[in-house]
Structures are given as C-alpha cells and as structure tokens.
Structure 1
C-alpha cells in the first residue's frame, strides 16, 4: 500500500492536478553566461540562452507547462528553438505537446520516440501510458550522440544504454563546465531504476562514470531530481551505487531470495538519508536485486519486518 501511495503522490501532476490548482514555485540558478538550471514541479530543467536563441533540456509535467514557460521567459523572452528530452517519463516530457505544437524542434534518443509512440505498462507505478500526441513527439532522434553548436558553445547529448531507462542521455556543456544528467542522477534520494523500461543498476553506474570522465572539480552537475551538485557529490553518488550493488550481490551469492535480502538491510547505511523522500529502502533493494538477477521488470517487494525498524 505504501508503495502505491508514494508512487501516486510523485506522479500526481501527470494525471490529476491542474496548473490552476497548484501554484508552482520555480527556482532559477545561473551556472554560466549562457546556462541555467530551473527547478519546479518535475525533473530539473536546463536552459541555454544567448545570441543564437534559446533551448531547454526537459520540460517537466504537463499541467504546469504555462508556469514553466513563464519561468523560462524570466531568463529569456526568445522563442524556444529546441527541447532535448533526457528520457521519456512524463515528469520530463510533459511540456512537449504545448511547446512542440508551437513549432519547437524536440530532440531525443531513438528509444524515447519509440516509447512515446507505443503503449507503456509500468509495474512500479501500476499504470499504463497511452501513446503521446503527435506534437509531443521528438522529430529529431539520434542513436549515440548529438551536438548543438549555439550561443558560443557546444552541447552534446550522450546516450547511456540501460540506465534509468533504455533511452537516457546526459548533456555536457564543456565551455560552461555543466553536465545535465537527467534521471541518471537523483541527488539526495534513492534513485528510481525503471526496470520495466530497460533500466539497470549497471547503466546507472556507467552514466556516473561517463559524467565524471568529463568533469573537473569545478563542474556543476544538474541532477534529474534534487539540488544542484558538484563533482564531489557525483563521486559520492557513484560510490554509493557501487557499494549498495555489491552489498546486495553478496547476499545473492549466499543464496538469499528477495525477501531475505530485504530483511538483511543491505542499504541500512543510507536508508535514513536517502530512503524517506520517495523510493523506500525495500523498493531500492528490489531494483538492485532484480537488475542483478536479470529480471527486467519491477516486482513489489515482499513485506518483511526489517521495513518496520
């Protein structure tokens, strides 16, 4: 019951709440002369603005699109030329239909378009998403990477296979020394690994490794959710992913099933800090267990006494 309640609360904006029913407070952080981070009701948004125009990375949830656009206009009143989607989840592509319908070019990995044009069943959220409207779909897709050369700098979107989903990208602004990681990085909470959409723990680690290979000590990291981070924060996150995975694998190697692994509390070191916002410790352990066992779907974790501690 707790699983379904938390999932429903997190995704409520995508299906129920209208923009008029909730005024969203947007926070804008300038990261360089051209790059900004915008926090609001869904995934964190990246903004690039300058002499060549305006483009954004992700566009939050559908009901707050007009509020999002108002927040973007406070940075620049130029029309949005491009949107880059980091993945297909509704809290990152929710504004696509309105923005794409106004003539903005939507860019995304091939797998994002594939998922947005087909019915998606998600066992973690216990819901089904129908195909998106035509205006919401990416019209320019890529397989490995794509670069934009605007506003006096480059921005390259790099595909990372089977991380948060099977269609995630991270976007690097080398001149501004900024990396937008989408939901390959949850800062301050347990990450959601969408096994139903091809996600895996190994891919999450590989995404962190890729970002760190492009970063220095001064790099600013925009996570998919949570506050702005620095390279040291991402290093700690990467180490946490590896250690949590190793803890679960050690128990698997001892022959434990999922219920026994959860009861052993292999993530107890981080539960207090990361496990109280959305993803519970039992859910996160389930992501790891299923990923390591090659189970490409979410299975609700069994009730165990360890969760009541």
Structure 2
C-alpha cells in the first residue's frame, strides 16, 4: 500500500475542503449580517414616524398606530394620544428635537384602544398627566374583549391610566390656546372625544373619523353608527373652511372631506335600513353592492365594505335609540 499517495490525497482533500469552507463561511456570515440589517431596518420602518407641521405651534405625528397631535409652546408640550409602547420613545425624541426639550405636560387620550394609549406608561414616568373621558379610564382599568378583533386586552398598569377625567366636555387652557374636549357618546367607542384647538383652528377627531377608510365601530366598547354620524356632524358644526383636521388615522385633511364622509355614511345607512325593512338579511345586503361607488375611497384591508355593512346591520337590528337610525 502506498501510504504516501493516500496521505497526499487526504491532504489535497483537506486543502480543497478548507478552500471551499472559507468562502462558504464568509458567505453565511455576510447573509447573516444582511438579514440582521434587514430586520433592524424593518423594525425602524415599523416604529418610524412622519412629522407634518399643521401650524406654527402644532404638528401631526403619523406612522404605525393612531395619529398624534402635538402642541408646543411656552407652557410646554401637550399630546393628543400616545400611540404604542414600542413607538413612544422615538416620538418623544423627535418632539424633544423640535421643542428644545420642553416637558410634555399633558396627553389627552381620544379613546381607550391600545394604538392610542399604549405610550401613556412611558410618558407618565417623566411626569406627563393623562386626560381622558371617564369611560376610557374604566375600560383601561378592566379586562376588555373586542369581538371584531377576536382579541382580549388586559388591564393597563396604574401609571398608564388617566388621572384627570370628565363626564361630558372639558376645557384646558394651554400654550395660549383654548382646547375644547367634546365627548361624543357611543361613537367609535363609548369614551371617544374630539379635541378642538380654537386659536390654531385645528381639530383632532380620534377614530370617529378615519381619512380614507370606513369607520371601525367597536360594538364591544359601546360604539354605534349613530354616534359616529353625530360626531362627524359635530366636527362640521364647530369647524370652518380653514380648519385643519387631524384624523385618527390617515392624512391631514379639511372640512370638505368630512362633509363627503357624512354623505357616504348617511347614504349607506339609509340604503341598509330600506333593504332591512323589505326583509333582506345581511348576506343579501352585502351582495347588493350598495357601497360600490364608495369602495375605492374607503374600503381597505382592515375595514372593508362587508365589515362596515355588518356594523350598520347590527346597529339597526339592535334598534339603537339614535335619530339617524330610528
């Protein structure tokens, strides 16, 4: 047996293996780095915010979760809603850059949903006071189940809860502006409010109005289509043609967009009501395509036309005592 040849072949094979392994390992390392960078970039995009100046003193912070309204002035900073626990630190950092690190004194929650109150706890650690309707505190204090999402929400910790609540309306004077908070009963939920900055002529609607989407009516939390319509009517009544509208989600808009939204809501409610009076069930109503002329404007992956018709149908079946659907 020629041991020299065997050794030579083994040595050659080992060299070939090493020759192959080094670039292969390098390739794996590069792919791992690229994957990690992609994950980091995806997380950054997920938690990123888009800042839109609304007036000299106010901004809208958009991105994942509900839109935040921000008032900056001599008294400090006031927020409308706080998005999520995952995004609030990035938002605070951006606000600090704009405000020269002025303290965030207040956050007003438009309603209890997690994408609007999730940042409360982190804000509270730095002394921010939370303001909301009493029903918001009640729902945040207790376990909630949202049927439409098929999801349970556990109670929030004490330091995330509103410490200032109101029953109907509330007024706050801050940054040389009168801030009127109007509770809209049984709209998106039972605790929703719209917030009007009088001097700046800006209204934050919360999720009573979503720009470019049919409304989400959270029946599990006391919402109703009649309340949504009342809320839109209220916003139109207290606004004017120069008012800037910060929606709960979607782009900054104006009063005309609200008027179009109201026409759509009333039209669909009346058509559903008429079909129900003629004995049609929900499946028949959905197949009738009564929303077709609005779907390109308002139907999306979260709330589509079938979902919205289901909300309206359920309200009418339950005979909610509201002038719009009586």
TM-score range normalised by the length of the shorter chain: 0.7 to 0.9
In structure 2, what is the equivalent of residue 30 of structure 1?
53
CA distance in 2, matches of 1:19, 1:291: 43
Deviations 1:275-306 (A, max 9, x none): 1342111111101111122279xxxxxxxxxx
CA contact (8 A) 2:48 2:87 kept: no
Summarize the alignment of residues 290-301 of structure 1 with structure 2, pairs less than 5 Å apart: 290-294=314-318
Match of 2:287 among 233, 250, 263: 263
SS at match of 1:48: strand
User: Within 2, Cα distance between the matches of 1:273 and 1:217?
Assistant: 22
CA RMSD of aligned residues (A): 1.8
Match among 64, 70, 78 for residue 93 of structure 2: 70
**Which residue number corresponds to residue 4 of structure 1?**
none
Contact 1:19–1:64 (8 Å) recurs in 2: no
Aligned with residue 42 of structure 1, among 58, 65, 71: 65
Quick check: 1:166–1:199 contact (8 Å CA) kept in 2? yes
Counterpart of 2:144 in structure 1 is 120
Conserved in 1, the CA contact under 8 Å of 2:215 and 2:303?
yes
Q: Which residue of 2 aligns with 1:199?
A: 223
- Paired residue for 1:21, among 35, 39, 43? 43
RCO (CA 8 Å, sep 6+): is it higher in 1 or 2? 1
Q: Using the TM superposition, give the Cα deviation of residue 74 of structure 1 relative to its aligned residue in structure 2, in angstroms.
A: 2.8
For residue 75 of structure 1, report the CA deviation from its aligned partner: 2.4
Report the CA distance shift for 1:83/1:238 in structure 2 as closer, same or farther (over 3 A).
Answer: same
Q: Counterparts in 2 of 1:34-113, with a 5 A limit?
A: 34-76=57-99, 77-113=101-137
* Superposition pairs of residues 108-187 of structure 1, within 5 angstroms: 108-187=132-211
How far apart are the structure 1 equivalents of 2:231 and 2:267? 16
Runs of 4+ in 1 over 6 A off after TM superposition: 17-20
1:154 deviates by 0.8
* SS class of match (2:139): helix
Distance 1:295 1:43, change over 3 A: farther
Give 1:61 deviation, angstroms: 1.5
Which residues of structure 1 form unaligned runs of 5+? 1-16, 297-309
State the Cα distance separating 1:273 from its structure 2 match. Answer: 2.5
Give the number of equivalent residue pairs.
280
Kept in 2, the 8 Å contact 1:19–1:63? The answer is no
SS in 2 for 1:205: helix
Higher helix share: 2
Q: Return the alpha-carbon distance in structure 2 between the equivalents of residues 223 and 26 of structure 1.
A: 15
**Which SS does the other structure have where 1:62 is aligned?**
coil
CA positional deviation for 1:66:
1.1
Normalised by the size of structure 2, how large is the TM-score? 0.82
Q: Distance in 1 between matches of 2:238 and 2:94?
A: 29
Larger radius of gyration: 2
8 Å CA contact 2:110–2:116 kept in 1: the answer is yes
